[in-house]
């Protein structure tokens, strides 16, 4: 690849002709023409433009304007990550269009070392690009470079860009009217703007006025139906607090509910934390322990922070302020949470991408294992802090994910189709390490495959957005990383593509063609598709939450084999992506089965579904698994006080053991391993229960026992 870098003097100047706009650099109309080389910003004092193209939604403030018109097609890099700028804090935006009607092309805040900025984007010969530096963080003089590279090869995929006439913070590609089609969602302080996807193609744009939102989604947006009325509600993660927008009974209006507590929100999620069938909410806190809102079953959300016997015993993501040991710093650095089932025990776990430079304890990523009894343990407790203060909590670093990588988000997916979720941890800078690709060993541990996968040496960009989806529908999940795509080669290696990539955004299917698209800013990137086949699955819970959030969807096809997806509300860092699950199956012409493992413990199986279509699955609609059995097994002692043992002639290793109360609610969940066929039932109240066994061969049997 030929690189064109021209060494210019620091005070490189051009002699432009200005028709309007006043002093050079003080407005879009008076933008200073630049080309490749080094340029000097002496003072940022020009006019603002409200469209923000960086990671943050905070006001741009004053801007200093430049215009760049390439003479060829390039991959262009703008960077202030230079030795001369050490210790400074910069931010910039790249626009395209006319000065009165600009749209975002790129932007960056902190992808360089420290708080410096760098990003790369595609440019095309003869088109003009406006580069605007702002004073959001400081107004010191600094240098920046513009570097032109000839574009790398275009990948085996393509996107067609469509401009979307919308306003606000464009954050969602998710179904908002319960028709199982993904809609475009953008937010303003007093409105929710939705482009409803039409079944026959296109959109119906509707702006729904709301009361004043105390907090806008300046950091993240999550969607989920927490009151179970069939229409998704929204969670706004703001810099000072959290606002819920609750949809009415027909989804045509919203009620604003703002939490009064201070929450410096980062990633937010809807998830059924306590597995009672009702969606709760979870929000990462930047400077304090994580917070969560427990649903009382009537759609009322109660605030909790850190461990709390009324919320989540043993805690998730930090220590409650009132419980923190004297002299111990409060936990923070919580950035990118995602709720997934990493250990295949059919309950939902949570990974937190951490970003706290310099702090030994709170900069380490955390993996909170669901113990199946209402408690969680950090199994990425690399410093031993949690184990020291909560020695009975089961905290350790057995997962091997307790890394100090400065990261804002992670991408989880089964990258080798072995039935276990792997993880790509994307670095936002290099202070504490590079990007990592960790392979799930299937025993609760992860092994570093970064080098052998080719990820590290291809230098994916540093930044905040990482997510996973099968962009080309070949049956292998790819990684969307900060505006580039790591395309899965099908052998746990990846090829980096930067040409024709849509950039970070919300992922979903915006035209119902079975290929994932991207929504970002005023641009909708529609996947051009190919000849690969696909299947899309939507989930409707009955006993579980109505969205099926937390469910595991598994499909099998002859050539590709087994693929898995978890239904997740809130992945990546800031955007809300589809709640539908998308599967590419390559050249396979059939799918043998779809299996859905619901949070309630219900299992549904659809045999021989059609392909290149959407399959809607309602919880409990099939009984194929429930009618099977493994033969005789014995529970003893029965009645039992503390430990219940399961005796069977069959090998029960890796079987899932679930315990249900007489109301049908799952109250315990275990995965048998190491030939230990006993479970702790001491936390259960006295009464009758049903124990169910699902073997790794998907055979089921149930038996009653009495807890004394």
Q: In this structure, are strands 63-68 and 32-34 parallel, antiparallel, or unpaired? A: parallel
Range name among 51-60, 143-152, 278-287, 608-617 with the lowest pLDDT average: 51-60
Report the pLDDT averaged over residues 116-135: 92
Two tokens at 92? Answer: 């910039």
Report the number of secondary-structure helices (H) and strands (E) in the chain. Answer: 2, 52
CA neighbours closer than 13 Å in the CB half-sphere of residue 59: 5
272, 279 in Cβ contact below 8 A?
Answer: yes
- Residue 527's closest CA among 601, 578, 565? 578
Residue 639: asked if its preceding bond is cis (omega within 30°), the reply is: yes
- Give me the residues paired with residue 595 across strands: 554, 605
658-679: average pLDDT: 88
pTM, full prediction:
0.84
Q: Is the pLDDT of residue 29 over 60?
A: yes
124-133, 455-464, 686-695: least confidently modelled range: 455-464
Q: What is the pLDDT of residue 488?
A: 98
Q: How confident is the model at residue 314 (pLDDT cuts 50, 70, 90)?
A: low
Q: Is 648 helix (H, G, I), strand (E, B) or coil?
A: strand
Would you place residue 575 in the very low, low, confident or very high pLDDT band (cuts 50, 70, 90)? very high
User: Residues 40-47: what's their mean pLDDT?
Assistant: 92
Higher pLDDT, 287 or 421: 421
Residue 627 pLDDT > 70, yes or no? no
> What CA–CA distance (Å, rounded) separates 104 from 95?
5
> What is the model's pLDDT at position 221?
97
Q: Taking residues 469-494, report their average pLDDT.
A: 96
In the chain, the largest separation of any two C-alpha atoms, in whole Å, equals 90
Residue 300 has pLDDT above 90, yes or no: yes
Mean pLDDT of 229-234: 97
Query: pLDDT tens, 503-558?
Result: 899 999 999 999 999 998 788 999 999 999 999 999 999 999 999 999 999 999 99
Tally of CB atoms within 10 A around 530: 15
Nearest to 528 by CA among 580, 485, 487, 471: 471
Q: What percent of the chain has pLDDT over 90?
A: 67
| Rounded CA separation 46/93 (Å) | 14
Per-residue pLDDT tens digits for 235-262: 999 999 999 999 999 999 999 999 889 9
pLDDT bracket for residue 54 (50, 70, 90): confident
Find, among 598, 592, 596, 566, the residue nearest to 579 by Cα: 566
pLDDT at 446 over 80: yes
Is it the case that residue 630 has pLDDT exceeding 90?
no
Q: 385: part of which helix (H) or strand (E)?
A: helix 385-389
User: Do residues 573 and 464 touch, judged by C-beta distance below 8 A?
Assistant: yes
Q: Which of 262-271, 351-360, 434-443, 448-457 has the lowest mean pLDDT?
A: 351-360
- More confident: 150 or 616: 616
pLDDT on residue 327: 45
The rounded mean pLDDT for the chain is 89
Q: Is the pLDDT of residue 321 over 90?
A: no
372-376 contact pairs (CB < 8 A, 24+)? 372/345, 372/347, 372/668, 372/669, 372/670, 373/667, 373/668, 373/669, 373/680, 373/683, 374/274, 374/275, 374/312, 374/313, 374/683, 375/312, 375/313, 375/314, 376/312, 376/314, 376/315, 376/316, 376/349, 376/350
Task: Put residue 500 in one of left, alpha, beta given phi > 0 → left and psi -120 to 50 → alpha.
Answer: left
Residue 451 carries which DSSP code?
H
- Under 8 Å between Cβ of 386 and 395: yes
Give the pLDDT confidence score for residue 198 in this predicted structure. 97
Q: Which of 79-83, 268-272, 326-330, 489-493 has the lowest mean pLDDT?
A: 326-330
| Mean pLDDT within 279-283 | 96
How large is the average pLDDT for residues 105-117?
Answer: 85
Report pLDDT for 165. Answer: 87
Q: Would you state the structure tokens that stand for residue 519, as one six-digit string?
A: 């929504």
Tokens of 364: 């380490």
pLDDT at 349 over 90: yes
The burial of 451, by beta-carbon neighbours within 10 Å (0-12 exposed, 13-18 middle, 19 or more buried), is given as exposed
Order across the sheet with 523-527: list the strands.
159-163, 523-527, 517-520, 506-508
- In b/e form, how buried is each residue of 230-267, taking b as 16+ CB within 10 angstroms? ebbbbbbbbbebbbbbbbeeebeebebbbbeeebbbbb
State yes or no: pLDDT of 10 exceeds 60. no
> Which has the closest alpha carbon to 609: 561, 539, 555, 560?
555
CA distance to 248, 636, 702, per residue, from 443 (Å): 44, 27, 25
What's the confidence (pLDDT) of residue 311?
A: 66
- As to burial, measured by CB atoms within 10 angstroms (0-12 exposed, 13-18 middle, 19+ buried), residue 498 is buried
Rounded distance between C-alpha atoms, residue 240 and residue 256, angstroms: 16
Percent of the chain topping pLDDT 70: 91
Closest CA to 129 of 68, 74, 48, 79: 68
- The helix (run of H) or strand (run of E) holding residue 283 is strand 280-285
pLDDT at 649: 81
Please give the full DSSP string across 526-578, using - where no structure is assigned: EE---S-EEEEEEEE-SSS-TT-TT-EEEEEETTTEEEEEE--BS-SSS-B--
Q: Can you list the pairs that 13-22 forms with residues at least 24 positions away whose Cβ atoms lie under 8 Å?
A: none
pLDDT band at 329 (very low <50, low <70, confident <90, very high): low
């Amino acid at each position: 690849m030929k690189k064109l870098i021209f060494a210019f003097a620091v005070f490189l100047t051009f002699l432009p002709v200005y028709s309007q706009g006043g002093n050079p650099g003080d407005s879009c109309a008076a933008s200073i023409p630049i080309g490749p080389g080094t340029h000097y910003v002496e003072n940022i004092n020009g006019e603002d433009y409200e469209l923000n193209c960086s990671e943050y939604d905070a006001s741009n403030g004053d801007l200093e304007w430049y215009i760049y018109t390439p003479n060829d097609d390039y991959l262009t890099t703008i960077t202030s990550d230079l030795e001369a700028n050490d210790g400074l804090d910069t931010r910039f935006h790249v626009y395209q269009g006319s000065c009165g009607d600009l749209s975002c092309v790129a932007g960056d805040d902190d992808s360089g070392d420290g708080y410096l900025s760098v990003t790369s984007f595609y440019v095309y010969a003869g088109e003009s690009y406006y580069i605007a530096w702002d004073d959001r963080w400081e107004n010191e003089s600094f240098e920046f470079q513009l570097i032109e590279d000839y574009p790398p090869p275009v990948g085996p995929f393509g996107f067609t860009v469509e401009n979307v006439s919308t306003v606000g913070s464009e954050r969602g590609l998710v179904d908002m009217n319960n028709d199982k089609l993904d809609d475009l969602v953008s937010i303003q302080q007093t409105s929710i703007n939705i482009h409803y996807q039409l079944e026959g193609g296109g959109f119906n744009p509707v702006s729904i006025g709301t009361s004043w939102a105390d907090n806008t989604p300046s950091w993240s947006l999550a969607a989920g139906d927490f009151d179970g009325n069939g229409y998704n509600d929204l969670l706004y993660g703001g810099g000072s607090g959290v606002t819920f927008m609750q949809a009415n009974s027909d989804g045509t209006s919203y009620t604003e509910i703002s939490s009064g507590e201070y929450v410096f929100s980062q990633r937010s999620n809807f998830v059924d934390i306590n597995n009672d069938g009702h969606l709760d909410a979870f929000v990462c806190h930047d400077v304090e322990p994580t917070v969560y809102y427990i649903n009382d079953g009537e759609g009322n959300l109660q605030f909790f922070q850190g461990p709390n016997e009324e919320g989540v015993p043993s805690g998730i993501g930090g220590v409650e302020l009132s419980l923190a040991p004297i002299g111990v710093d409060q936990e923070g650095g919580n950035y990118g949470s995602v709720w997934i089932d990493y250990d295949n025990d059919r309950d939902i776990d949570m990974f937190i991408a951490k970003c706290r430079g310099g702090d030994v304890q709170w900069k380490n990523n955390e993996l909170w294992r669901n113990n199946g009894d209402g408690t969680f343990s950090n199994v990425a407790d690399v410093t031993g802090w949690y184990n020291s203060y909560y020695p009975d909590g089961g905290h350790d670093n057995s997962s091997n994910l307790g890394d100090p990588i400065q990261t804002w988000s992670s991408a989880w997916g089964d990258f080798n189709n072995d039935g276990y979720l792997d993880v790509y941890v994307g670095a936002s800078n290099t202070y504490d390490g590079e990007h990592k690709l960790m392979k799930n060993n299937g025993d609760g541990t992860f092994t570093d495959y970064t080098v052998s996968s080719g990820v590290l040496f291809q230098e994916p960009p540093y930044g905040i957005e990482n997510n996973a989806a099968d962009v080309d529908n070949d049956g292998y999940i790819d990684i969307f990383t900060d505006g580039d795509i790591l395309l899965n080669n099908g052998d746990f290696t990846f090829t980096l593509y930067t040409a024709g990539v849509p950039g970070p955004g919300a992922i979903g299917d915006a035209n119902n063609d079975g290929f994932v698209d991207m929504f970002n800013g005023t641009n909708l990137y529609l996947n051009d598709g190919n000849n690969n086949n696909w299947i899309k699955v939507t989930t409707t819970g009955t006993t579980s939450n109505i969205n099926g959030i937390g469910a595991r969807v598994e499909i099998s096809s002859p050539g590709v084999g087994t693929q898995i997806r978890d239904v997740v509300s809130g992945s990546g860092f800031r955007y809300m992506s589809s709640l539908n699950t998308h599967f590419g199956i390559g050249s396979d012409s059939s799918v043998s089965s779809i299996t859905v493992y619901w949070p309630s413990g219900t299992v549904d199986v659809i045999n021989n579904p059609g392909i290149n279509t959407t399959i809607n699955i309602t919880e409990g609609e099939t009984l194929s698994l429930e009618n099977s059995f493994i033969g005789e097994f014995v529970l003893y002692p029965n009645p039992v006080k503390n430990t219940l043992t399961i005796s069977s002639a069959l090998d029960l290793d890796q079987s899932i053991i679930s315990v249900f109360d007489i109301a049908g609610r799952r109250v315990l969940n275990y995965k048998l391993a190491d030939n230990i066929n006993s479970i702790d039932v001491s936390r259960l109240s006295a009464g009758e229960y049903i124990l169910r066994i699902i073997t790794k061969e998907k055979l089921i049997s149930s038996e009653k026992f009495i807890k004394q």
